[in-house]
Amino acid sequence: MNADTLRPAIADLITMALAEDIGSGDITTGLLIDPQQAGRALITAKQDLVCCGLDVLDHVYGLICDDIRVDRRAADGTRITNGATLAELQGPFHALLTGERVALNFLQRLSGIATLTRACVDAIAHSRAKLLDTRKTTPGWRLLEKKAVRCGGGCNHRMGLFDAMLIKENHIAACGGISNALEKARSGSPAGMNIEIEVRSLDELQQALAYGADMIMLDNMSCADMRRAVELTAGRARLEASGNVSLDTIAAIAETGVDYISCGALTHSAPAADVSMLIEQA
């Protein structure tokens, strides 16, 4: 399995979102709006944000009506100021109304992730650290949410369990220790695949270094211990800080000298961006 095989899931996700919202039909719009009435809609930012998800608008409205035209006024990954127009849509008034909530749900969620990611990237710009996402994504949304992280200037960690090796504490426990886990990983991993392992103490770090880990995740360590870990590692492996990462703590973590900082909050706790759609007769 790879990322390309997952892409049809995006179309399925949009189809499901429309089905759960529209069901057997939009009762209110069906009763009030003339099917021949033309409309024009503006999607506007109600806060400063980083845009992501405009391409989804085409898919949402493409499934509702062939006669909707989407004119993007911004590009994914760009900073948008409060009040700016993100897109203009034209077509049947009833179709614009029916797709409004689903379209905005995607746009608000993805722009929210991109916006939080950009804030975190800006907070560590003075350091060497790169920001990574995690697998703590909304089920079914992973490709979209990881794209939003990239739009915000962050980097994707593994897409799933299939494309990178990360030995975590439960793997270590099942194998009987760090040395056994790394030896098994080395003997059976695909050629050229980097091996990352999670450690919770400086003693475990030393064990991981002794057995040749390519990348080491420092799990919930204090900044003092992370600084010491950087000194002990001395470039022999790449170091990733993980745990209790937020916009308030990320700068101090970056200043320890780690190579990467992974932050689950980017995708599991980002507030939705404030975006609105106003529709008028064309």
Angle at 103 between CA 145 and CA 107, to 5 degrees: 40
SS3 125: coil
What are the residue ranges of helices labelled H in the chain?
Answer: 3-6, 8-22, 27-32, 54-64, 93-123, 142-151, 169-175, 178-188, 202-210, 223-233, 250-254, 265-268
Between the alpha carbon of residue 92 and those of residues 36, 89, 152, 225, the distances in Å are: 7, 10, 33, 61
pLDDT of residue 4: 58
Instruction: Check if the beta carbon of residue 71 is closer than 8 Å to that of residue 87.
Output: yes
Instruction: Check if the beta carbon of residue 222 is closer than 8 Å to that of residue 190.
Output: no
Instruction: Check if the beta carbon of residue 181 is closer than 8 Å to that of residue 197.
Output: yes
pTM score, two decimals? 0.95
**Whose CA is closest to 143, among 133, 153, 129?**
133
**Whose CA is closest to 2, among 157, 140, 137, 158?**
158
Which CATH topology does 126-268 take?
TIM Barrel (3.20.20)
pLDDT of residue 5: 53
Instruction: Check if the beta carbon of residue 238 is closer than 8 Å to that of residue 214.
Output: yes
Residue range(s) in the chain whose domain bears CATH number 3.20.20.70: 126-268
SS3 1: coil
* Active site residues per annotation: 101, 136, 168, 198, 219
**C-alpha span between 196 and 209 (Å, rounded):** 11
Span 93-136, pLDDT tens digits: 999 999 999 999 999 999 999 999 999 999 999 999 999 999 99
**Whose CA is closest to 175, among 197, 160, 151, 157?**
197
Residue range(s) in the chain whose domain bears CATH number 3.90.1170.20: 3-121+270-281
Which residue matches tokens 């980002």? 270
pLDDT of residue 8: 85
Which CATH topology does 3-121+270-281 take?
Aldehyde Oxidoreductase; domain 3 (3.90.1170)
Residues in the chain: 282
Which stretches in the chain have pLDDT values below 70? 1-6
Structure-token pair, residue 248: 């308030």
